[in-house]
Amino acid sequence: MTARMEQWSFPPKFDDGYLPDPDSRYWFSHRETMPAADRDAAILVRLQEICAYAYDHAPFYRSKWDEAGFHPSQLKSLEDFEERVPVIRKADLRSSQSSAPPFGDYLCVPEGEVHHIHGTSGTTGRPTAFAISREDWRAIANAHARIMWAMGMRPGDTICVAAIFSLYMGSWGALAGAERLGAKAFPFGAGASGMSSRCAQWLDMLKPAGFYGTPTYAIHLAETAIKDGLDPRKFGLRYMFFSGEPGASIPAVRERIEDLYGASVFDCGSMGEMTPWMHLGGARGTPGMLSWQDIVYTEVCDPETHSRVPYGSRGTPVYTHLERMSQPMIRLESGDLTIWEDGPTPCGRTYPHLPMGIIGRIDDMITIRGENVYPSEIEAALSKTDGYGGEHRVFVTREGTMDEMMISVELDDAGWQQGDERRKAFHAQVSRQLHDMLGLRAAVEVVAPNSHERTDFKAKRVIDDREAFAEMRRRQEGGSS
Ligand code: 8LH
């Protein structure tokens, strides 16, 4: 069966001139639609190859696996992989890079082969460097072009990349895919002051087919365009693909963006470390995201045991690269939360799929009076409320021994103009919605449109001072002032 899998080899080799038949909905029709069990058999062989390769080239994996009593020769089934191969965490990568700087002892190619250096933002501690070889960059471009094809983008389409060009892999990954697809890449970027107005102006001029950014930014950009007297629906966008944060798989948010622009919305994205990060990525006809298992083998696992959860259940994705040679990630624990379903999907692909996308980071869960809630669920509830002005903030604090939550939510312009009665009614609607959808009783504040700051990157809507509060209490109890 592997003989029929298109461009499937180890090390990966790609024909950079290849394009599917223009009428095909698939880039690699066999790889995408083959029986999942046959694909799993091919994945097992690839896992044997990649584990042997990592064991030989990366002291990081060798010492971890020796300690866990695992040797690649023991890998006889996907269950062996799940049971015997320990997960790795971001902290392991950081510590490897601090003892073997700059790329860690999991760099499996000579440093001279590194073609791009990217990395994490490092806002919480030491940043991690991603060293990507030239061949891996090709693999990334090929994988992303393939997934963008599934969304409907075609050679010759203009694709606007409206995300910051820095170490962030989001923008660069979208650009690499657009280039490989033979599209007209339009790397507008983001992040400098005044760029949103100029982006709207360029979109109006160029009428691109495709757009990449974060969902939060797309909404902000549409608001900016409207304020500048432009109609985002006239930009002529047909495909908008998003990553970096929840939103594109939240029905009310997706519909809002589709409505603002008159375009189809697709969700994608896993983690910078896992580039080609579009391996979790949407396709025309299937809501949410597919898990393109022949690019990155994804297991949705119980966060404690790291064993796969049954289809239909919640768990955390654990990722393994199948087409990367420079810093292959083998069982990287994401810390995110999702639900996976078995294929096949409405688009005919036989991959598992994530109908709700990524719900959020497990660590971001908020517990208020025994109710657990994710910020994306609050966003879903508010976005469904008639009159929602597009932004909100969630404040979590500790009063006495109780955690308390307050949600500050914007009413839209039309509603705000209607005065007190409408504001009160909106307040009641929001409170009801939060209670009915999430079981939450939170204090609600209704504020004027545009009260909350907008961002051109990933939104940070939760302000949680419980840790600061607990810290202060510990200091006080410890006797210091
Ligand atoms: C998401 C999503 C999504 C990422 N839905 N949450 O943009 C893709 C890659 C390059 C990226 O954002 O990487 P980064 O900066 O390492 O962040 C990864 C985290 O971002 C990931 O663990 C998720 O928590 C979140 N994320 N794409 C929901 N489509």
User: Mind listing the pLDDT tens digit for each residue in 357-393?
Assistant: 999 999 999 988 888 999 999 999 999 999 999 999 9
Name which residue sits closest to atom 21 of ligand 1, judged by CA: 271
84, with CB counted inside 10 A (0-12, 13-18, 19+), is middle
Structure tokens at 411: 């009413």
- Residue 280 CA: nearest ligand 1 atom is 29
pLDDT for position 1 = 59
Nearest CA to ligand 1 atom 19: 271
Measured distance CA(276)–CA(204) in Å, rounded? 30
- Nearest atom in ligand 1 to the alpha carbon of residue 334 is 22
Mutate to test the pocket of ligand 1, among 316, 336, 363, 374 (most ligand atoms within 8 A of CB): 336
The rounded distance, in Å, linking the Cα atoms of 67 and 284 is 45
Nearest CA to ligand 1 atom 4: 244
Q: Is the CB of 277 under 6 A from ligand 1?
A: yes
Cβ–Cβ < 8 Å for 56, 48:
no
- Cα 241 to Cα 79: distance, rounded to the nearest angstrom: 34
pLDDT of residue 468: 76
246 lines ligand 1 (CB under 6 A): yes
pLDDT tens by residue, 1-58? 566 899 999 999 999 999 999 999 999 999 999 999 999 999 999 999 999 999 999 9
Query: What is the ipTM score, two decimals?
Result: 0.99
Residue from 116, 245, 266 to probe ligand 1 pocket by mutation (most atoms less than 8 Å from CB) = 245
Which residue matches tokens 């069990």?
A: 37
Q: Measured from the CA of 169, which atom of ligand 1 is nearest?
A: 10
Q: Is the pLDDT of residue 443 over 70?
A: yes
Q: Quote the pLDDT of residue 476.
A: 77
Q: For 57-97, write each residue's pLDDT tens digit.
A: 999 999 999 999 999 999 999 999 999 999 999 999 999 99
Q: What are 331-364's pLDDT values in tens digits?
A: 999 999 999 999 899 999 999 999 999 999 999 9
Under the banding of pLDDT at 50, 70 and 90, the label for residue 479 is low
Ligand 1 atom 6 nearest Cα: 245
Question: How far, in Å, CA of 329 to CA of 296, rounded?
Answer: 9
Q: Is the CB of 213 under 6 A from ligand 1?
A: no
Q: Mean pLDDT over residues 231-251, rounded?
A: 98
Domains annotated for the chain, with CATH where assigned, are 1-361 (3.40.50.12780), 365-477 (3.30.300.30)
Is any atom of ligand 1 closer than 6 Å to the C-beta of 276? no
